[in-house]
Structure 1
Amino acid sequence: MNRALRRSALTVALGLCFASGVNAQSNTAGAVFGQATAGDTIVVENPSTGVKRQIQVGNDGLYRASSLPTGSYRVTLQRADGTTSVRENVTVNVGTGTSVNFASATAGDGSATNLDAIQVTAALVNPIDVSSVESTTILTAEQIAKIPVPRDVTSVALLAPGTVKGDDAFGNLASFGGASVAENAYFVNGFNITNSFKGLNFATIPFQAIGEQQIKTGGYGAEFGRALGGVVNLITKRGTNEFHAGGNIFYTANSLRSTERDIYSPDGQLISDNSKDRDPTETVASVWASGALVKDKLFGYAMLQYGRESGSRSYGDNISVLNNSQTAKNPNWLVKMDWNINDNNMLEFTGFSDKKESERDVYSNPQGVSERQNYLGTVHDETGGNNYVMKYTGFLTDSFTLSALYGTGEYKRNNYAVNAAGERLEYSGNVSPANATGIIGASGCPLVTDGRPDVAAGLTPAITSSCAFLGQNLGLTDARDKREQFRIDAEWQLGSHLLRFGYDTDNFKSRDGEASEGGVAWRYVLRRGEDMVRRRVFQTGADVEVDSRAFYVEDNWNITENFIAYVGLRWDTFENKNGEGETYVEQDNQFGPRLGFSWDVNGDSSLKIFGNAGRYALPIAANVAVRGSSPSLYSQQYLHYDGVDPVTGVPINPSATGDARDDLAYLNNEFGLGKDPRTIASKNLEPQYQDEYILGFQKAITDNFTGGVRAIYRKLQRSIDDQCDYRVLEEWANDNGYAIDSYNPAFAYCHIYNPGSDLDIEIDMDADGTLERVRIPADKLGPDGKRTYKAVEFFAEGQISDKFFLQGSYTWSQNKGNAEGGVKSDIGQDDTGVTQDFDYPELMVGAEGYLPNDRRHTLKLFGNYEFTDQWSVGANFLYQSGRPINCFGVYADDPVGYGAGYFSCDTGEVDPDTGSNGTTIVKRGSAGRTDDIYNLDLNVAYRPSFAEGKLAFKMDIFNVFNRQKALAVDEFGEDSTGNPLQGVTYMTPTVYQAPRAVRFMVQYDW
C-alpha cells in the first residue's frame, strides 16, 4: 500500500509539472491554496530547507500560502481539537498555484464539510491549476534531462505550443505568437536579462543550473510587460539541508556529425561546396555543489561550467574567398545563496557570468572550390559579463507579503582584428567627417564585393580583396550594455480578493558603434548598363540609454468557490536618450489593462474553462538612437574606374561620372554630425501596443493526464518605425515659402512615428537656427502598421503510466500583416525598430500578406519511457509547414534608391499599373513556401544499478534521419540594378536543417 502511494505521488507530481494551462503568480515562486474549516491552521513546510508558513483559514473556509520558493512541501492541517491531516510531497512550481483541499466544500457559514481526517503520504494535487489565467508551459530540470533537446533556453522554449524558430540571421531565437524574435522578455530569478539594445539576445546561465524554465506564450498578467511576444522565466537550482555535488561532461564530436548539404542554384549551378566544412566539436564540462551552511537557515548552490567549440568552414562558392577556423571558449559560473532569516523573512542572492571569447582565423580561398590558402588574419570577439541580483521577501502578516529586488548586469560586445602582418585593426567609435576612416590599423585593405549579374551566375570571377578578411563591419573594442533594475512587489489577501501590486524601474545603457572594414566599402555593380563601382563610408558610435518604469495592480477575485475573475492594470513609461544624454523620445503612462477568468466547472480541478484579454506595450530599442539620434556617417557615390588593384581589390583611378544620380550623397542625411533631439520623433508619437484574446479549456483525461484547446487572436494596434521620405518635406517647404537646406544636422530625413498617423515634427528647413513646425498628413506617408495572429492550439501532457510521460501540441496558425515587427527576416535586417519598412511609401506597395513567421501547421511531441530502473529512452518530434517566400526586386525606376528592396520582381510581364515591361508587384508571401520539415531526435540513458543511481550515461541523436530541407531561400528575384536573378540565385537555399549530430553525456551525482 505504501509503495503504491509513493508511486502515485510521484506520478501525480510529474503530471503537475507538465501543466500548460493558465497561471498568474509570482515570477520567482509559487503558492499553495485550498479549502478547510474556518479558524483551523495550515502549516506549509519544505523539509529540505526549513521554509515554513503558518496560515489561519479564513471565515470563507479558504487559505493561501504565497511566494513559496519552488520545491516539495508538506502541508499540515491543525484542527482546534488537536487532530491533524497531512499532505506530503506537494510540488510547488514557479508561477503556479497548487490546490490542496482538506474539505470538499464549505457551508454558507464558512464551516467545512466532508473533512478528510486520515493522514496520508501522497502528493494530492491536480495537474490543472484553476487559480489563475496565463498560458504557460513549465519544464523542470529533471524533465528536460530526459528528452533529447539542445542545451539552450531557446530550444526548450520551442517545445511550448505557439512558438516557432526565428530566422537564422538573428541567431538562435524563438518567435512567440506571430511576434518578431525581438519582442520577447527573459528573466532569471525575477531579474530581467533581456538585452534591450536590439532585443536579439539575453544573458545566459550555465544550463545545468536551471531548475525550472517557465515559458509564457500569452495571457501573462500585469506583473509582466515590455514584450509583445512571449516571456521566458528561469529559476535556478538552490541548496537544501542535504549536501549534493556532482559533475558532467557533454561531448558532441565533429566526426559524428553528418556533412552539410552543398548548395546549388535552381539551374544546377554549384553555389557552395560544403564537403570540407567541419561543424564545431563541442565540449561542455560542469561541476557543482550545494548544501546547508547553517541547517534550515543558510544554503548555497555553486556551479562552474567550461565550454569549448572548434570548427572550420570553407566557403567554396563563386562569391566568397574566405575560409574560417573558429574556436570559442566560455568559462561560466553561477552562485545562488538563500538565507531564511526567520519564518517571516528571506534573503536571496544570485550571481552569474556568461562571458564568451572567440577567435576566428581567416584564410583566403579560391573561388568555386574548397581549398585553404594564405592566412589573412584573426577576428577577436568577447561577449557577456557578470550579473548580480539580491532579493528580499517578507511575510509581514498571514495575508500580506512584500518583496524587493535589485540587480545589475553587464554584457560586453568587444570586437577587434589582427591581420597577417600583426597589425591590430580596431574602430575608435569616434564618427569622423566624410573622408576620414576612423579605423586604426586599416592598412588600406577595405571590404570589396562584386554584385554584377555575371558574377552571381558564376560566369565571371568576382573582384575581391585578397587582404581584407573581416567580411563584416568592425565593431568597438569597448562596446557594452549595462542594466540596473529595481522592483518592489506586494501581495495582499483580502477575503476573496488576492491583490497584487508593484513598481519597477529598468535603466539600460549601451555603448555601440561600427565602421566598414578599412573605412570604405567598395561594390562593383552593373548600373544603367555600365560597369561602375559604388563607394560607401559608414560610421556610427554613441552611448545611448533607455529608461523604463512601470506600475501595476491586479486582483484575483474568487467570486464563487469555483469561479475566479482576474483584473489587472499596468502603466508603462519609456524614455529614450541619445549619445549626448538628451531625451529624444518620452512616452508616459501607456495603459495596459488585463482581464481574465478561470472556471473550475466541477469544483475538483478536473475541468477548467478560461479566457483572458490583454494589452501589451513595447519600448523603442536602444539601438535606434545610435544612428537615428546621434552622430553617424553614411555616404555613397557611384564612380567610373580604369582598373582594379590585384591585392586590395580597390578601383584604380575612380572618377565621378558627371551624372547627378551618381554624385556623393549622404544617405538619410547622415553626414557625421550631431542631431538635434527635438527633430527626431513625431510630437504625437504614442507607444506601440498589441491586444490579445484567448479562450480555452483544459480537462483531466485520466488522474495524471490532461488535454485542452485554446484559441488565440493577437492584433498589433499601433506600431512604431521610422520614415525617411524627404520628398514630403521638400513639398511642405515649397508650399510654405522656405528655401530648403538639407545639409544641416537639424534636417533629419528619417523620423520616428506611428505608421498610419500624421507626422508632426520640428525641423530647421532653411538652416537659420530656428525650428519650423511641420505637419505631414498620414495619407502622404504610407499605410499604418498591420500584424495579426490567429491560432488554435490543442495540447496534452502528463503521465501515461508511472514509467511513461508524454507532452504534445498541434497548432494551426495564421500570421498576416505588412510588417513583421522589430526586425525584417525577409532580408535578415536586424536594425530593431527602424528597418526599411515604412521608410518610403513605395517600399510598402504589395507589403501586406503572410509574414515570415507564418507556419500554418506545427506538431510537437516529446516524452520519455523507462524500460527498467536502469534504461530509458526519450524522443522529440517536430513537424512544421514551410514559411512564405517573397520575390524582391526593383520597383519602377527605383524612385527612392533602395535597389532590390521592393515587393517587385521581373516576371516577364507588363505591370498594368506602371506600364513597365517585365516588372510587377509580387504580393508579400505569394511566391510560394519553403518545404515542410520534420525532425526526430532520440536518446537513450543508462543508470547502472551498482552506482545506486548516482552514475548516468546518455547518448542523444539529433535529426536521426538526417533530413536537410531548406529553412530559408534567397528571396531576391532581381539584383540592385533590376537584372533578373530567376534561375541564377533566386530561390537558392540559404539555410538547411542542421545535419545529424550525436552528443554523449557522463554524469555523476553524490
Structure 2
Amino acid sequence: MNRALRRSALTVALGLCFASTVQAQSNTAGAVFGQASAGDTVLVENPATGFKRSISVGSDGQYRASALPTGSYRITLQRADGTSSVRENVTVNVGTGTSVNFAAAPAGGATNLETIQVTAALVNPIDVSSVESTTILTAEQIAKIPVPRDVTSVALLAPGTVKGDAAFGNLASFGGASVAENAYFVNGFNITNSFKGLNFANIPFEAIGEQQIKTGGYGAEFGRALGGVVNLVTKRGTNEFHAGGNIFYTASSLRATERDIYSPDGQLISDNSRDKDPTETIASVWASGALVKDTLFGYALLQYGRESGSRRYGDNLSVLNDSETAKNPNWLVKLDWNINDANLLEFTGFSDKRETERDVFSNPQGISQRQNYLGTVHDETGGNNYVMKYTGYLTDTFTLSALYGTGEYKRSNYGINAAGERLVYDGVVSPDNAAGIIGAAGCPVVSDGRPDAVAGIIPAITSSCSFLGQNLGLTDAQDERDQFRIDAEWQLGSHLLRAGYDSDTFKSRDGEASEGGVAWRYVVRQGRDQVRRRVFQTGADVEVDSEAFYIEDTWSITDSFNAYIGLRWDSFENKNGEGQTYVKQDNQFGPRLGFSWDVNGDSTLKIFGNAGRYALPIAANVAVRGSSPSLYSQQYFDYTGVDPVTGAPTGLTEASALSYLNNEFGIGKDPRTIASKNLDPQYQDEYILGFQKAITDNFSGGVRAIYRDLKRSIDDQCDYRVFEQWADDNGYAIDSYNPAFAYCHIYNPGRDLDVDIDIDADGTLEHVVIPANQLGPKSKRTYTAVEFFAEGQITDKFFLQGSYTWSKNKGNAEGGVKSDIGQDDTGVTQDFDYPELMVGADGYLPNDRRHTLKLFGNYEFNEQWSTGANFLYQSGRPINCFGVYGDDPVGYLNSYFSCDAGPVDPDTGSNGTTIVRRGSAGRTDDIFNLDLNVAYRPSFAEGRLAFKMDVFNVFNRQKALAVDEAGEDSTGNPLMGITYLTPTVYQAPRAVRFMVQYNW
C-alpha cells in the first residue's frame, strides 16, 4: 500500500514535469526548473556529455538550472536526510524550460523514491508558463514528415505562416507581415541577410538539430522583426561516437510536367512541354564524438548538392532558352568544450556557398526549340560564417553568456558570351554615361511594349545576342556581418530577471547596370512608334549599424500564475556609400507584456495572453540608390530601322530632351537631404489571447486570437510637385532639376515631411516642411486571425499535428516589398511615391489567405515500416487590376489601382469609376496539396540502415498561385481577355524523392 501511494504521489508530480517557460529562455539553450524542499540539492546531468550542474533549492522551494545545452538529462534530487529521487530522460529543447517537480520525502525518510524513466513525447506538451506562439520541430520529427528539406518549408508547417510570392524566392510570410520582415538565427547568431531581408544563411539541412518557429509573442530578447523568428540549433557531439551518410535523389524523369500557360483568349504564353525540371542529388557524410571524454566534443558534416535542368524563360515564347547547373559544396563544424562544470565554450563554423552556371540559347519566336548558344551566366552566393559563444554559471542563480560571430554572403554575378568575352560591371557610377556611351559590356537590353506586339498581332522586336535580358550585378558584391551580444540571467526569489545587449554591424557592397550599358524599349508614343533609351547605374558600399538593450522579468505570482514584462530599446544607424550617416534612430521603445495561467494547477488547461511592440530597421539596400551616387537617364527617339542582331534601333532622331529620372545624375547625394528629420522607426503592435487544453494524456488542442497593427512604416516619396508648391508659397525660384535636389525622400507615411533641401540651387539648404495631407495617406496594415491548433500522440505509434487559421490581412501597403508586381526594393517600393498611386490602395493585401488548414503526422506500422503525410488546404490570394489612372499624372504607366476592368455595379450596370480597389478583382483558386512518404528500416541492419520515398503533390494539382494583374497596358489599352489574369506561377508539379541512409 505504501509503495502504491508513493507511486501515485510521484505520478502527480510527473504531471507537472513538462511545462515550458519559453519567453524567458535563451535562443540557443533551455532550462530545467521546479519545486523541491528548501535546502535540498538538485544535480543536473547530461550522461551523453558528462555535463553536470549542482543547484541548491532556495528558501522558497524553487530551483532553476538555466542555459543548458539541448539534450537529454538526468535530474537527481539529493535530500538533506540522504534520500534521493531521480528523473531520467528529461528532454531540454531550444528556448524552453522543462519543469521537474519533486515530492517531499516519505515519512521517516527511510525509503527512496525509485528512479523514473521519463519518455519524451514526439510533439511539445502544454507549456503552462509560456506566453509565446511557438512551434519546435526536432530533426527526428522532421525526418518523419514528407516536407522539402529547407528551413522555409519547415517553418510553413507552423500556424499563421503562408508561402510568400515566388518573385522573392522561397520565403514565408508570418502573421500578415511581408517576407522581408523576419529574423533568422543559428546557435544564437543572426543569419538574416539585412541587405534586403530576403534571404538568410543556409546551414546544411542535415546539421539542423532543432528548428524553433516563433510566430508571435516573442520576448524582449528578440527584435528587428515584425513577422516571425526562425531559431535553429545544430547537432553536436557526445561521448559516444557516431557517423553516417545519406543521399537524397530527386529524378527529373519522375517529376510531372509543368502546365503550359495560356492567356484567357487561348494564346500560348509559355510552352513548358520541353522544360526539364532539375534532377537534384544531395549527399552528406558526418561524424561526431568526444575528442576528450566528458570535456571536448565535435560534430562535422560535409554536404554536396547538385541540380541540373533546363527551362525556357520569358513571355510569348521569347528568345531565351537555358540549361542550368547549381552546385552546393557546404560544410559545418560544431565544437563544444566543457571547460569545467561552471564554464562552457562553443564554436560553430559553416559554409553555404552556391555556384550556378546557366547556359543560354536562342529560341525561335513562337515555338520552343533550342538553337544557337549565346553565353553562360555565372552566379556565386553564400560564404563562410563563424560563431564563438561562452556560457558561465557564475553562481547557482546567476548565468552569463557572450557571443561573437562574423559572416559573409557573396552575390557575385557575371557573364561570358559565345565569343568568350567576359561581361561584367565594375560598379563605377559615371555621369558621363547618361547617353549610354560608357557602360557594362554585352548587348543592350531590348523589350517591346507596343500594344500590337504584346497582343501578338505583330512580331515583337527581340535581341538574338543579349542573353541576360536584365541588369548585370557586380563580381565582388557581398554582405558582411559582425555581431556581438551579452546576456545575463538572475533568479531572484519568484522573479527570473534577464538582461542583455547586442550590437550588429552589417556592411554591403552592391551595384547594377543594364547589360550593354543601355536598355531600349519600343513603345507607341504621341500616336507613333518610338523607342525609349534608359541608362541605369548604381554602385556603393553601405552599412547598417544596430544595437539593442533589453531587460525582462518573469514573475511567478503564484504557483499557477506567471506574469511577464519585457522592455527593449532599439537603435539603428544607416550609412551611405561615402560612409556618411543619412538616418539615425535612437532608443525605439518596445515593451512586451504577458501572462500564463495554469487554471487547474495540473498543466491540463492554460489561458495565456501577451501584448508587444516590435521595431524594424531600414534595410541596407535603401542607401545604394537612395543616398549614394546613382544614374537613371531617359530619352525618346524616332527610328528608321532595327539592328537584326542586337535589336537596337538605328537611324535615331531625338523626340525628347535627355532627362534624369528622380534626379539621379550619377553623382553623390548630400546625406542631410535624404530623410525626414522627424523619421521614427517602423514598428508594429501585437496582441494575442488564447487557451490550450489537454484532450487526452498525450494530445492537446487550443485556440488563440491574434491582432497585429502596423502603427508606423518607412517608405520613400518622390513627388516633386509639393516642393514646387512650397517654393511658390515661400518666394523661392525653384530649380528642381539640379543634382542637389533629391526627388525621393525617406519618411513615415502619414506624417509631415521635414527635410533640408537646396530648393533654388544656390548652394544653401532650405528647411522645408510639407504637411502630411499633401503627401498621401498614412500607411496601414492589420492582421486579424483566429488559430485552432492540436498536437500530440494519438497512440504510441501515431503522432499528429495540425492547425486551422482564419485570417484577414488588410491595409494599403504590404510592407517592405510589393508582391503585387514582384518588386523587391525593400523599404522603397513604389507605394507612397505619389498620392495617385495610393488611390484605391486600401483593401486585402497579397498575403491575405482567408482559410488555411494544415495537417501532418506519421504512423509506425512496426519497427520496420512507417508512413507520413503532410496536407495543406489554403484559399486563394486577392487579385488586383492595375492600369493607367487618368492621364497618368506622375508617369507610372499602368501601375495604378485603376483600369476598365473594374467590377460592375449591379444597380447601374456600370463600373462607375476606373478605380478598382485593392484585392477586389477576385481571388486565385483555392489550393490543395498532399505529400506522402514511406520509410523502411530492415531488421537485419538493427536500425542503422533506412530507405525512404517521399512523393510531393501526390495528385499533381497545379492551380495558379499568382496571375498577371495588369488590366491595361502602359498606354491604357485594355488587356481584358488578352493577358490579364494569365497565370504566372503554378503549384509545383508532382515530384518523387528517394533517400538511403546509414548510421554507425
- Tell me which interval the TM-score lies in, with the shorter structure as reference length: over 0.9
SS in 2 for 1:535: strand
Q: Provide TM-score, normalisation by structure 2.
A: 0.96
Checking the alignment, whether the CA contact within 8 Å between 2:873 and 2:927 is kept in structure 1 is: yes
Residue 740 of structure 2, aligned match among 739, 743, 746: 746
Tell me, in whole angstroms, the C-alpha distance in 2 between the residues paired with 1:917 and 1:786. 26
Checking the alignment, whether the CA contact within 8 Å between 2:532 and 2:634 is kept in structure 1 is: yes
SS in 2 for 1:518: helix
In the alignment, does 2:18 pair up with 1:36? no
Residue 799 of structure 1, aligned match among 793, 804, 812: 793
Query: Where do residues 9-20 of structure 1 align in structure 2 (5 Å cutoff)?
Result: none
Tell me, in whole angstroms, the C-alpha distance in 1 between the residues paired with 2:331 and 2:38. 48
Partner of 1:538: 536
Query: Which shifted more, 238-247 or 131-140?
Result: 131-140
In the alignment, does 2:431 pair up with 1:435? no
Tell me, in whole angstroms, the C-alpha distance in 2 between the residues paired with 1:228 and 1:101. 36
Deviations 1:664-690 (A, max 9, x none): 221111110100000000000011100
The Cα of 1:131 is off from its aligned counterpart by 2.7
Partner of 2:3: none
Checking the alignment, whether the CA contact within 8 Å between 2:881 and 2:901 is kept in structure 1 is: no
Query: Which shifted more, 698-707 or 574-583?
Result: 698-707
The residue type equivalent to 1:770 in the other structure is T
Paired residues, number: 982
Query: Where do residues 456-605 of structure 1 align in structure 2 (5 Å cutoff)?
Result: 456-605=454-603
Tell me, in whole angstroms, the C-alpha distance in 1 between the residues paired with 2:333 and 2:717. 46
In the alignment, does 2:816 pair up with 1:818? no
Residue 666 of structure 1, aligned match among 654, 660, 665: 660
Partner of 2:702: 708
Residue 339 of structure 2, aligned match among 337, 341, 344: 341
Tell me, in whole angstroms, the C-alpha distance in 1 between the residues paired with 2:818 and 2:381. 24
Checking the alignment, whether the CA contact within 8 Å between 1:875 and 1:939 is kept in structure 2 is: yes
SS in 1 for 2:206: helix
The Cα of 1:733 is off from its aligned counterpart by 1.0
Partner of 1:677: 671
Partner of 1:952: 946
Tell me, in whole angstroms, the C-alpha distance in 1 between the residues paired with 2:985 and 2:285. 35
Residue 119 of structure 1, aligned match among 108, 115, 120: 115
In the alignment, does 2:58 pair up with 1:64? no
Partner of 2:650: 652
Partner of 1:303: 301
Query: Where do residues 64-143 of structure 1 align in structure 2 (5 Å cutoff)?
Result: 64-103=64-103, 117-123=113-119, 127-143=125-141
The Cα of 1:622 is off from its aligned counterpart by 0.2
Deviations 1:219-255 (A, max 9, x none): 0000000000000000000000000000000000000
Residue 400 of structure 1, aligned match among 378, 398, 413: 398
The residue type equivalent to 2:513 in the other structure is A
Query: Which shifted more, 499-508 or 918-927?
Result: 918-927
Deviations 1:863-917 (A, max 9, x none): 0000010000000000000000000000000000000110001238999xxxx99
Tell me, in whole angstroms, the C-alpha distance in 2 between the residues paired with 1:579 and 1:373. 43
The Cα of 1:51 is off from its aligned counterpart by 1.4
Change (3 A) 1:575 1:16: farther
Moved over 6 A (4+): 12-17, 111-116, 438-441, 908-911, 916-919
Tell me, in whole angstroms, the C-alpha distance in 2 between the residues paired with 1:282 and 1:681. 46
Checking the alignment, whether the CA contact within 8 Å between 1:13 and 1:123 is kept in structure 2 is: no
The Cα of 1:529 is off from its aligned counterpart by 2.9
SS in 2 for 1:49: coil
Partner of 2:7: none
SS in 1 for 2:116: coil
The Cα of 1:124 is off from its aligned counterpart by 8.1
In the alignment, does 2:979 pair up with 1:985? yes
Checking the alignment, whether the CA contact within 8 Å between 1:416 and 1:477 is kept in structure 2 is: yes
The residue type equivalent to 1:92 in the other structure is V
In the alignment, does 2:904 pair up with 1:905? no
SS in 2 for 1:734: helix
Tell me, in whole angstroms, the C-alpha distance in 2 between the residues paired with 1:833 and 1:113. 67
The Cα of 1:438 is off from its aligned counterpart by 8.5
Checking the alignment, whether the CA contact within 8 Å between 1:35 and 1:104 is kept in structure 2 is: no
Tell me, in whole angstroms, the C-alpha distance in 1 between the residues paired with 2:215 and 2:902. 44
Tell me, in whole angstroms, the C-alpha distance in 2 between the residues paired with 1:392 and 1:654. 67
- Structure 1 gaps of 5+ residues are 1-8
Partner of 1:611: 609
Partner of 1:6: none
Tell me, in whole angstroms, the C-alpha distance in 2 between the residues paired with 1:944 and 1:842. 66
Tell me, in whole angstroms, the C-alpha distance in 1 between the residues paired with 2:681 and 2:120. 46
Partner of 2:862: 868
Partner of 1:841: 835
Partner of 1:289: 287
Checking the alignment, whether the CA contact within 8 Å between 1:23 and 1:97 is kept in structure 2 is: no
Query: Which shifted more, 714-723 or 637-646?
Result: 637-646
Deviations 1:814-838 (A, max 9, x none): 0000000000000000000000000
The residue type equivalent to 1:906 in the other structure is D
Deviations 1:640-670 (A, max 9, x none): 111111111111122222xxxx432211111
The Cα of 1:112 is off from its aligned counterpart by 15
Checking the alignment, whether the CA contact within 8 Å between 2:176 and 2:783 is kept in structure 1 is: yes
The residue type equivalent to 2:163 in the other structure is K
Checking the alignment, whether the CA contact within 8 Å between 1:104 and 1:114 is kept in structure 2 is: no
The Cα of 1:610 is off from its aligned counterpart by 0.6
Change (3 A) 1:338 1:457: same
Checking the alignment, whether the CA contact within 8 Å between 1:318 and 1:461 is kept in structure 2 is: no
Change (3 A) 1:225 1:113: farther
Checking the alignment, whether the CA contact within 8 Å between 2:317 and 2:368 is kept in structure 1 is: no
The Cα of 1:700 is off from its aligned counterpart by 1.4
SS in 1 for 2:117: coil
Checking the alignment, whether the CA contact within 8 Å between 1:615 and 1:689 is kept in structure 2 is: yes
The Cα of 1:435 is off from its aligned counterpart by 3.3
Partner of 1:638: 636
Checking the alignment, whether the CA contact within 8 Å between 1:103 and 1:116 is kept in structure 2 is: no
The residue type equivalent to 2:113 in the other structure is A
Deviations 1:409-465 (A, max 9, x none): 00000000001111111000000114365877724x201011112222222111011
The Cα of 1:337 is off from its aligned counterpart by 0.1
Change (3 A) 1:918 1:417: farther
The residue type equivalent to 2:540 in the other structure is A
In the alignment, does 2:878 pair up with 1:880? no
CA RMSD of aligned residues (A): 2.3
The Cα of 1:97 is off from its aligned counterpart by 1.2
Checking the alignment, whether the CA contact within 8 Å between 1:847 and 1:923 is kept in structure 2 is: yes
Partner of 1:624: 622
In the alignment, does 2:824 pair up with 1:830? yes
The Cα of 1:13 is off from its aligned counterpart by 12
The residue type equivalent to 1:117 in the other structure is L
Tell me, in whole angstroms, the C-alpha distance in 1 between the residues paired with 2:118 and 2:387. 36
Query: Which shifted more, 798-807 or 206-215?
Result: 798-807
Checking the alignment, whether the CA contact within 8 Å between 1:465 and 1:647 is kept in structure 2 is: yes
Checking the alignment, whether the CA contact within 8 Å between 2:897 and 2:915 is kept in structure 1 is: yes
Partner of 2:4: none
Change (3 A) 1:702 1:987: same
Tell me, in whole angstroms, the C-alpha distance in 1 between the residues paired with 2:84 and 2:654. 93
The residue type equivalent to 1:560 in the other structure is T
Tell me, in whole angstroms, the C-alpha distance in 2 between the residues paired with 1:200 and 1:120. 48
Q: Provide TM-score, normalisation by structure 1.
A: 0.95
Partner of 1:263: 261
Checking the alignment, whether the CA contact within 8 Å between 2:924 and 2:962 is kept in structure 1 is: yes
Checking the alignment, whether the CA contact within 8 Å between 1:318 and 1:462 is kept in structure 2 is: no
SS in 2 for 1:208: helix
SS in 2 for 1:793: strand
The Cα of 1:768 is off from its aligned counterpart by 1.4
Partner of 1:46: 46
Partner of 1:228: 226
The residue type equivalent to 2:609 in the other structure is G
Tell me, in whole angstroms, the C-alpha distance in 2 between the residues paired with 1:441 and 1:816. 42
